[in-house]
Amino acid sequence: MASTDDAKRNREEVRRLMAGIDDARANALLKGAIDLHVHSGPSTMPRQLDHMEAAEEAAAAGMRAILFKDHHYSVSPVIPMMERIFANPDFAMYSGLVLNNSTGGLNPFVVDAQLKMGAKLIWMPTAQAANHIRSAHRKTRLASNVQLRNSPALTVVDPYGEILDEVKQILDLIAEFDVILSSGHLHVWEIWKLFDEARARGVKRLLVNHPMYGLHFTYDDIRELAQLGALIEQSAGLYVDSRFNTYTPEELREHILAAGVEHSSIGSDLGQVDNPTPVEGMRQAIKLCLALGFTDADVRTMVADNPARLVGLTS
């Protein structure tokens, strides 16, 4: 975790590197991009833009789709109404369900209902995962700034390290509806067990969010899970000119190369107040990747092709 001084130096280096990349080149790569990690509002935490504003900004930039994520509710049921109001046939909106206590926890009945209302992604527990709670101890960036009612720390395994029966039922539903399974904020040890069980049960769309941030991954974990078919998403907000900046530009390059461009994607993980907007975060991430030596084709693979394939958005 970067100190305040480290983060300041990182952000200065990010600005220096981005200055060498032409705006038009970055904007061209933003067209057709898909952001599967948008934290717009309303939410229990302060957001700088609501879901409609996030969609409008992304469509105006020429992006192809966004996926809304909130730790405590699903936007999926209201997307048909948003589509009717927004009325842009060239732009897609998605959401999913995070399995925190606030949404029912590891409850297959809730998952079943949400999938039947259009959820495209099921995240394992995040802010209320046992690993998140432990990892957030004395770390303000991982801690929620809204104190919800105290609730159990969630894990997907029993005391013997076996996947819980209710999680197996959830995995069966994810396989049946052919949607995305995200590992959420589980510990890497849990994620290996979860993904092994998921693959055995026919889950085909596997996603890891920010593996080096709070999940205790090694480079070998990234490499091996990518080789098993998981898409490894790096959060733009951890690398760009953001108050969440945690890593150096060179570390972004290393984190991407650990999985390989062909198994990597970039999501903004933005929408919070006092941060770049999701679209601006994606634009900065594109510029930073180009400055780090990734080709235009590499960047398009990570911001457009790979997320499109994961979410099932065909040409």
- pLDDT of amino acid 142: 47
How is 10-73 classified by DSSP, letter by letter? HHHHHHHHHTTS-HHHHHHHHTT-EEEEE--BS-SS-BSSBHHHHHHHHHHTT--EEEE--SS-
Peptide bond into 42 cis (omega under 30): yes
pTM: 0.96
Q: What is the pLDDT of residues 288-304, one digit of tens each?
A: 999 999 999 999 999 99
Kindly compute the dihedral angle of the four CA atoms of residues 116, 68, 184, 283, in this order, to the nearest 10 degrees.
150
Closest CA to 262 of 235, 229, 238, 239: 229
Percent of the chain with pLDDT over 70: 97
Q: What is the pLDDT of residues 234-262, one digit of tens each?
A: 999 999 999 999 999 999 999 999 999 99
Percent of the chain with pLDDT over 90: 93
Name the pLDDT band for 20 (thresholds 50, 70, 90).
very high
Q: What is the pLDDT of residues 23-57, one digit of tens each?
A: 999 999 999 999 999 999 999 999 999 999 999 99
Give the span between the Cα atoms of 46 and 40, in whole angstroms: 9
Give the span between the Cα atoms of 268 and 47, in whole angstroms: 14
Q: What is the pLDDT of residues 101-143, one digit of tens each?
A: 999 999 999 999 999 999 999 999 999 999 999 998 876 554 4
Name the pLDDT band for 1 (thresholds 50, 70, 90).
low
Would you call 95 helix, strand, or coil by DSSP?
strand
